[in-house]
Amino acid sequence: MRIKKIQAKSFRQALSLVKKELGPDAVILSSEDRKGSSPYVEVTAAIDEKIETASLENYAPAVSKIQSESNNEVAELRNEMKSLRESIESMKNSVYEPQLPEARKNMFNFLKGRAIKDEYAIRLIEKARDTSELKAQIYNDLYSLTAGVKSEGFMDGRDKKVIMLIGPTGSGKTTTIAKLASQAIREGKKVGLISMDTFKIGATEQIRIYARMIGIPLAIVGDTASLVKSIQNYTDRDVVLIDTTGQNPGNDDYISGLKNIYETGVPVETQLLLSTSSDNDFLMESHKHYNLLPINYVAFTKTDEAVKLGSIYNLCSLYQRPVAYITNGQRVPGNIEYVDSNKLTNLILRTGSA
């Protein structure tokens, strides 16, 4: 174990020096703010020498020699290295938090209490001195993702606006389609619905009931070619809303099926619906799949059900897409809101469900 004290102007700078001098596996043992005429941060960090020098690549010549003697030994070595790495990794997480100076620790816990991911919480507390500065920071981060979204509304200069809702199973697509359709009608628009959900039992019935209730036409399509035809057939509609089947984003056929739609060249605005009551890690993980698609907006559903809404900040930071709206209840019409940065920040920092 090699231990080193590093001084820098800011915590962030100290962390990057630690990384530079001791490598990515270094563990932060403590961090202190030193006050005075020229204040600085002192960070004590450590690295296990074995880990530092023993990346798998560095082991390669030795490994190949051992390999000829015994493959089992190599496998054992690899396993040991892996578990060593894992324990350093978990040490990094557990050691970091308790060693923070008191004010930073409180802010870190404040953010963690709202389910904001460690990596984002660390970034936020680095820049803020108290919770009101934290709030301002979150507001700023979300500003460009919310500004001007509402004014675009249903028409953005195009003759016919085609909006497709995608998202994991049960994220609220069909319900939100009905909310959007009602709203567009209230704005005096002619609306048409298309459902691509021929997959799930009862799905067709669900959207048919909404279409009848709102009094608008519905087309049910089973493949991309019929989808394109249906969009074209809606010649007199101002807004066409497309409902899709919710599936596990890890399913490659699902993602490539959606990709086919864009390859037809029909102009479709895509809104990705993410439920705030879903598992945060699952939604973060889904990014690598959904990001393969040209997503125009994200929208957060079921904010009425979620106890912690830090996931909104995590997902905004990750997806970096404008936020179309949030939904906060099952009622149709209603329970859909356009949010500016202030509203979204308050939601993220709220505790307890609505």
Ligand X SMILES: Nc1nc2c(ncn2[C@@H]2O[C@H](COP(=O)(O)OP(=O)(O)OP(=O)(O)O)[C@@H](O)[C@H]2O)c(=O)[nH]1
Where b means 16+ CB within 10 Å and e means fewer, 213-245 reads ebebbbbbbeebeebbebbeebeebbbbbbbbb
- Which of 153/329 has CB closer to ligand X? 329
- Which of 159/205 has CB closer to ligand X? 205
Smallest separation, CB 277 to ligand X (Å)? 7
Smallest separation, CB 296 to ligand X (Å)? 18
∠ Cα 112 113 115 (to 5°): 60
Distance (Å, rounded) from C-alpha 345 to C-alpha 350? 9
Using left for φ > 0, alpha for ψ between -120 and 50, and beta otherwise, residue 23 falls in: left
- Which of 133/305 has CB closer to Mg ion? 305
Smallest separation, CB 160 to ligand X (Å)? 23
**Of 47, 114, 124, 175, which lies in the binding site for ligand X, with binding defined by CB under 6 A?**
175
Q: Are 125 and 111 in contact (CB under 8 A)?
A: yes
Smallest separation, CB 100 to Mg ion (Å)? 44
Task: Show the binding pattern over residues 190-229: x = contacts ligand X (CB under 6 A), - = does not.
Answer: -------x--x--x--------------------------
Distance (Å, rounded) from C-alpha 160 to C-alpha 238? 5
Is omega for the bond preceding 333 within 30 degrees of 0, making it cis? yes
Is omega for the bond preceding 39 within 30 degrees of 0, making it cis? no
- Partner touching 55 among ligand X, Mg ion, none, CB below 5 to 8 Å by kind: none
Distance (Å, rounded) from C-alpha 178 to C-alpha 332? 7
Q: Is 335 in the site for ligand X (CB under 6 A)?
A: yes
Q: Are 48 and 25 in contact (CB under 8 A)?
A: yes
Size of the site for ligand X (CB under 6 A): 22
Decide the pairing of beta strands 323-327 and 269-275: unpaired
**Of 174, 278, 286, 317, which lies in the binding site for Mg ion, with binding defined by CB under 5 A?**
174
Q: Is 327 in the site for ligand X (CB under 6 A)?
A: yes
Q: Kindly state the tokens that stand for 229.
A: 């035809």
- Which of 172/249 has CB closer to ligand X? 172
Task: Show the binding pattern over residues 308-327: x = contacts Mg ion (CB under 5 A), - = does not.
Answer: --------------------
Closest-by-Cβ residue to Mg ion is 174
Distance, CA of 333 to chain centre: 27
- Which of 48/243 has CB closer to ligand X? 243
Q: Applying CB under 6 A, which part among 117-125, 136-144, 256-264, 299-307 lies near ligand X? A: 299-307
Decide the pairing of beta strands 40-47 and 323-327: unpaired
Q: Is 331 in the site for ligand X (CB under 6 A)?
A: no
Q: Is 195 in the site for Mg ion (CB under 5 A)?
A: no
Distance (Å, rounded) from C-alpha 201 to C-alpha 194? 17
**Footprint of Mg ion (CB under 5 A):** 173-174
List residues near ligand X by CB under 6 A.
167, 169-175, 197, 200, 203, 245-246, 301-302, 304-305, 327-330, 335
